[in-house]
Amino acid sequence: MSDNKTIKVSEISELIKKQLQQIDIESYYEETGKVLEVGDGVVRIYGLTNAEANELLEFENGVKAIAMNLEEDNVGAVLLGPTHLIKEGFTVKRTGRVASIKVSEKMLGRVINPLGEPIDGKGKIDGEFFEMPLERKAPGVIFRQPVEEPLQTGLKAIDSMIPIGRGQRELIIGDRQTGKTSIAVDTIINQLDNFKAGDPVYCIYVATGQKGSTVATLFNTLKDFGAIPYTILVVATAADSAALRYLSPYAGAAIGEYFRDTGRHALVVYDDLSKQAIAYRELSLILRRPPGREAYPGDIFYLHSRLLERAAKIINQQEVAKQMNDLPECLKGKVKPGGSLTALPIIETQAGDISAYIPTNVISITDGQIFLDTDLFNEGNRPSIDVGISVSRVGGNAQIKPMKKVAGTLKTDQAQFRELEAFTKFGSEMDAVTAMTIDKGQKNTQLLIQSLHRPLSVEKQVALLYCGTHGLLANIPLHKVKEFEENFINLLDYSYKEKILNEIKKGNFDEKVTSSIEEAAEILKKQMNY
């Protein structure tokens, strides 16, 4: 045999080695399951033994679901799409991801569903996306700061007596048709000045279980008042599945967290959490979880507490803030300190019963509540706030100094006046002191009445309330108080901008300012012949 035909063993082994190196020996393991039964927005799946709680599952036709019940022989999942698209025997695979929403800056001014898809017919949302988990642990105590910065609502009654601070959770509670949504909408409209000044409070309005027409009206209102550029609407209407209604507040919180953790301020309105609780009860009963009080599942308190705890004011120290617990991957390296997320949950009561299950739950989680009374509403006292029951547990910390000085005793005065008024209805004669107290209380009540979507800047509020609390309205008849108010605001705008409004804005409230307010009130009273 000639040399050129000799086969060298070493060459062969080298060749085999090279070829073996090119082979990818990693095995791919994909866990799949089969749909056992489907109905009412809930699917039972066999075969996903390693599925995790809140994991995102995907069906062969692309519809997604979230694993909720992890039982021994099957997984109960809630559908994120229409039930009729899923059939028995469909294959399901695990995604290995928790349920999340892709958040983008370009969402501002848009209407989206809880999955982050636009539903306003204005085409798809572009821009850089950040995948924020729907469920996330709230920031730990170390990463929080006490609430000190005010979030102005523009409503005299709230900013003076029940102030809301950035990072606070303030519950709005009352029967239907008492103006709960109006308070939240006015608060959003009032952030326009901040937006123009380049320090925006980004607003997320979550509409859960409402009519589509109601949401459309609300969108148009915000548009008319120029609030849309800094607002995102997350909508799960009454026609949507229970799963979407249950997830909608979480989607709102996740979007708010994106703004908060990147060092900005956000406000999220949950309108309303009673409808989310109903959606969760619906899902739980279909998933055969044991019912508790009022047929709600046992973990309904936990549902709301883990949602509302996510509202926070983040510490203003970069080194500490960037170590925040449970940070999503997409935010690592992007965290900035000093951001805040303020939550305004709304709860609907039945016949003013705040001791029902869901209201008491949410009252105990939040930092105060604004209670709206039907009788006051019908009397024309709007916003119809019951001062006796309403409270802000942050209180004066969330007020500017001038407001603190003016409104210090206003809340107790008004509560006492209400009691006194009720008491004097029985008696015929009143002494001079009681008559004066009642007169002052009635005029202050008139001052605190505010028209719909007419928020006032805090400087004007302070000047007005000073007139009320310091008895400058004593000679003015009750029916003329509103007229006085309008003329007084116009006078401030035209003649006292420097002397009064700008000084209050700076936080000054000395004798100079108060005497200017008294001067302006006297001028006006002369003009009105009082």
- Residue ranges of the chain with per-residue pLDDT less than 50: 1-2
Quickly tell me which residue has 């006297």 as its tokens: 522
Q: Which domains does the chain have, with CATH numbers?
A: 32-98 (2.40.30.20), 130-399 (3.40.50.300), 403-527 (1.20.150.20)
DSSP state of 4: G
Q: Which secondary structure element, helix H or strand E, spans residue 422, and what is its range?
A: helix 410-424
Per-chain mean pLDDT for the chain: 92
d(CA 291, CA 88): 27
Q: Which secondary structure element, helix H or strand E, spans residue 215, and what is its range?
A: helix 212-224
Q: Which secondary structure element, helix H or strand E, spans residue 234, and what is its range?
A: strand 231-236
Looking at the whole model, is its pTM more than 0.95? no
pLDDT digits (tens, 9 = 90+) for 276-312: 999 999 999 999 999 999 999 999 999 999 999 999 9
Cβ proximity of 446 and 196 under 8 Å = no
d(CA 320, CA 179): 41
pLDDT digits (tens, 9 = 90+) for 330-349: 999 999 999 999 999 999 99
Cα dihedral 399→405→410→416 (10° resolution): 130
pLDDT above 90 coverage of the chain, percent = 84
Strands (E), 285-432: 340-348, 368-372, 391-392
Hey, what are 468's tokens?
A: 């009320």
d(CA 486, CA 488): 5
**Bridging pattern class, strands 55-59 and 91-98:** antiparallel
321 φψ region: left (φ > 0), alpha (ψ -120 to 50), beta (else): alpha
pLDDT of residue 2: 47
pLDDT of residue 28: 53
CA distances from 267 to 114, 189, 274, 349, 486 (A): 17, 12, 19, 23, 30
Cβ proximity of 151 and 267 under 8 Å = yes
pLDDT digits (tens, 9 = 90+) for 127-183: 999 999 999 999 999 999 999 999 999 999 999 999 999 999 999 999 999 999 999
Q: Which residues are catalytic?
A: 393
